[in-house]
Structure 1
């Protein structure tokens, strides 16, 4: 499977910043700025770059509006204040940055995955995130999702064994089954097995008949048909919102994602600002 072609890593930078905020030691620099999450981000991205198969990558960030006022010490404010430095960290490491304004980081990752998988230059495309929304982008073993916390890789065989549907059907599945973690209510009575069975037969919500006799492959067809008829418009809205935009105007050419080297001037400035001097010995050992 494209073994000789370069692997591409597409990283959910927003998730990484939040993960580092909670997982790295808090640190206030000499200017009174909280910079602990950015210090952690520098370390985790450097760890990724050190891997032998990481030579092409991009990092996408959601738009994180600036916190209002300097006295707000809420978690959200502390993270948002570090967002500009987080973007500078990616630039300083010489990594392609995709900062979003109107869309979400997920949309950028979906766009990159689609564009790269449609071409013949890239090998495996690895989406680095813990957000299951990106499961809809999985294609065979070519486009996979890597959870960097657990190390779990989800390809299409794994996805199908877990959900019983094809990856592009995942927005339909979420709309029917719901997700407590995402605040999606779903259609009452429609559980995972029911949704997988009906989507396996009809493909999507739009093509699913509302007549009870059409749903007799599952138990309680009359009740399920009535619930779907009542919630169909809502389910279609949820599906539309859950489907990622994969057509953003991003430069997804393989050569545009090739990692060259760190920008030592920018990195030196950033390390001084975040007081992460312990990073230099790691860099020196890595680049010997």
Structure 2
């Protein structure tokens, strides 16, 4: 039975960009995110030497969610130009390292990851979703777990694995309730407004009592605190819209074919980027 690491490319690349101090090539081209990205990949290879690795990236927004909520992710600040310049090279070096890159125009990486995790599970294989994104906790269960990167504020915590019990402990709800939980509390990172006044504790209490968002709506007259009883009915359509926004799609076709590393191409890449110590690491890791 195999194991595959499913990398949330943008999540990890942003972390790499902010975790590594400003670095540039002699001509001024930024390389800090590249340094952090490669270091992250090799750390994961060391932790899971027998696992396959696939990287997923967003490409040109999310057509379906933007149609439901035009303001979806509209609150996000513009990507730093130094990071934007590095993304094509991040994709390039990832392929050279023998890691398949999967992206689909108008489809979020989260949905592609969820689809890959389901496909692997159906084949009897384990997958480990590598991301700090709470949306992806809804995929956890059975042969799927989530691997959280070390927090930027406290890197000593290291890499942490979320199984079903850990998701329940962290959020107060089961993985299959995460989408409904986020529909209630909202998701600031995606600009999804929750039900005003409802926080994690209230949302988790309701879901423990009534199971699903639909169950909460059907039992709105019993909700505590009582001030939400009328409000849930009034906001029913918005809450159900939120649920469509927060629930990941698991039916996208994804190619899970292995990719061979291009060792010579990798050495040339690191030489081009003036990453001398990283180029030396290729010799150690690939015996080239």
Question: What residue in structure 1 maps to residue 148 of structure 2?
Answer: 147
- Compute the displacement of 1:268 (Å): 2.2
Aligned residues: 264
Question: What residue in structure 2 maps to residue 286 of structure 1?
Answer: 285
- Compute the displacement of 1:154 (Å): 0.9
Alignment TM-score, normalising by the size of structure 1? 0.82
Q: 2:233 aligns with which of 229, 232, 245?
A: 229
- Compute the displacement of 1:98 (Å): 0.8
Question: What residue in structure 2 maps to residue 219 of structure 1?
Answer: 224
Q: 1:24 aligns with which of 16, 20, 24?
A: 20
Whether the aligned pair in 2 keeps the contact of 1:179 and 1:185 (CA below 8 Å) is yes
Q: Deviations 1:121-158 (Å, cap 9, x if unpaired)?
A: x1x31100011110010114x21111122412111011
- Distance in 2 between residues matched to 1:241 and 1:212, nearest whole Å: 22
- Compute the displacement of 1:180 (Å): 4.3
- 2:171 is the counterpart of 1:163: yes
- 2:213 is the counterpart of 1:205: yes
- Distance in 1 between residues matched to 2:60 and 2:267, nearest whole Å: 25
Evaluate the alpha carbon distance shift between residue 28 and residue 227 of structure 1 in structure 2; reply closer, same or farther with a 3 A threshold: same
Written as runs of structure 1 = structure 2, the 5 A alignment for 1:35-54 is 35-54=31-50
SS in 1 for 2:55: strand
- 2:248 is the counterpart of 1:247: no
- 2:107 is the counterpart of 1:108: no
Which runs of no fewer than 5 residues in structure 2 stay unpaired? 62-77, 151-157
- Distance in 1 between residues matched to 2:35 and 2:220, nearest whole Å: 57
Whether the aligned pair in 2 keeps the contact of 1:108 and 1:246 (CA below 8 Å) is yes
Question: What residue in structure 1 maps to residue 192 of structure 2?
Answer: 184
Deviates more, 1:225-234 or 1:45-54: 45-54
Question: What residue in structure 2 maps to residue 90 of structure 1?
Answer: 94
Q: 2:7 aligns with which of 4, 11, 17?
A: 11
- Compute the displacement of 1:246 (Å): 1.6
Which runs of no fewer than 5 residues in structure 1 stay unpaired? 66-73
Question: What residue in structure 2 maps to residue 138 of structure 1?
Answer: 140
SS in 2 for 1:126: strand
SS in 2 for 1:58: strand
Q: Deviations 1:239-265 (Å, cap 9, x if unpaired)?
A: 11111122112123xxx24x64x3123
Whether the aligned pair in 1 keeps the contact of 2:120 and 2:127 (CA below 8 Å) is yes
Whether the aligned pair in 1 keeps the contact of 2:220 and 2:233 (CA below 8 Å) is no
> Root-mean-square deviation (CA), in Å?
2.3
Evaluate the alpha carbon distance shift between residue 205 and residue 212 of structure 1 in structure 2; reply closer, same or farther with a 3 A threshold: closer
- Compute the displacement of 1:272 (Å): 2.1
Evaluate the alpha carbon distance shift between residue 263 and residue 23 of structure 1 in structure 2; reply closer, same or farther with a 3 A threshold: same
Question: What residue in structure 2 maps to residue 71 of structure 1?
Answer: none
